[in-house]
Amino acid sequence: MPAWKDYLPDFKGALTGFYEENLKNPLETKTQEFKSLLASNIAFGQRTQKVLVAIALGIFLLLAIAYF
């Protein structure tokens, strides 16, 4: 008597093939794009933070000079 798996299609093989043919490359390219965007966003945030600290320090020093 044949088993059920002899009559069913190979779903695992079909999904693996579909992933490798259609999804793998776009996912990898999008992952690289998002990594580069995240790195540039972090760098921009760090620059912005340094600028804000410099501005706040300048305002504090000007106020200190004005009051003394």
Reported residue count of the chain is 68
Question: In this predicted model, what pLDDT tens digit does every residue of 41-65 receive, in sequence order?
Answer: 999 999 999 999 999 999 999 999 9
Does 5 have pLDDT greater than 80? Answer: no
Kindly state whether residue 17 falls inside one of the protein's structural domains: yes
Give the whole-angstrom CA distance, residue 67 versus residue 61. 10
Number of domains in the chain: 1
Confidence of residue 3 (pLDDT cuts 50, 70, 90): low
Kindly state whether residue 36 falls inside one of the protein's structural domains: yes
Kindly state whether residue 25 falls inside one of the protein's structural domains: yes
Kindly state whether residue 5 falls inside one of the protein's structural domains: no
b/e code 2-39 from CB counts within 10 Å (16+ = b): eeeeeeeeeeeeeeeeeeeeeeeeeeeeeeeeeeeeee
The predicted pLDDT at position 16 comes to 83
Kindly state whether residue 2 falls inside one of the protein's structural domains: no
Kindly state whether residue 1 falls inside one of the protein's structural domains: no
Confidence of residue 34 (pLDDT cuts 50, 70, 90): very high
Query: Domain limits at 18?
Result: 10-67
Kindly state whether residue 26 falls inside one of the protein's structural domains: yes
